[in-house]
Amino acid sequence: MNNWYECKVRYERLADTGLSKKSSESYLVDAYSMTEAEARIIEEVTPFASTGEVMISSIKREKFAELFLSTEDEDDKFYRCKVLFISLDEKNGVEKKTPVTMIVKASSLMKAVNRLDKEMSSSMTDYSIASVVETNIMDVFSLDLSK
């Protein structure tokens, strides 16, 4: 099971005008612990910092059932999707809805919903999409097990 951490990072970078600009961004990091997440995000973001100084403003653990990432260039936004898995409670005879959170990378809200539907179509469980919200996540850094 993956441990995902949302890391909020502050650093100075060069703006398009050539001047230094303070930037605050969120990233998603796959790591075994908070300590490893902090080390990995510093390693990943430091090349973009003009002064080389990176400050971590927060790290919090996130529970995602699934991440549907994309390699398409136009897919540049991340959407947080709340999906309800629908099952029947045989004891009481009522529908039970279990919420899970997923991340989808897409270029627009409609494409995120379509991609989520496409990915979930192979699921044997009934589901409904409760919400799809654009996040401020800039990038996702998955764990590279080959290192």
Q: Please state the pTM of the whole predicted model.
A: 0.88
Region for 38 from its dihedrals, namely left if φ exceeds 0, alpha if ψ lies in -120 to 50, beta otherwise: alpha
Q: Exposure of 94 by Cβ count < 10 A (0-12 exposed, 13-18 middle, 19+ buried)?
A: exposed
- Tell me how many domains the chain contains: 2
For 3, the domain range is 1-63
Give the integer Cα–Cα distance in Å for 47 and 45: 6
Give the integer Cα–Cα distance in Å for 38 and 57: 10
Give the percent of the chain with pLDDT over 70.
Answer: 97
Given 33, 63, 93, the domain boundary residue is 63
Same domain? 12 vs 1: yes
Q: Exposure of 31 by Cβ count < 10 A (0-12 exposed, 13-18 middle, 19+ buried)?
A: buried
Same domain? 121 vs 88: yes
CATH code: domain of residue 10:
3.10.20.10
Q: Has residue 122 been placed in a domain? A: yes
Same domain? 31 vs 52: yes
pLDDT in tens, 44-56: 998 888 777 889 9
Instruction: Confirm if 60 and 27 have CB atoms less than 8 A apart.
Output: no
pLDDT in tens, 68-83: 999 899 999 999 999 9
Average pLDDT, rounded, for the chain: 91
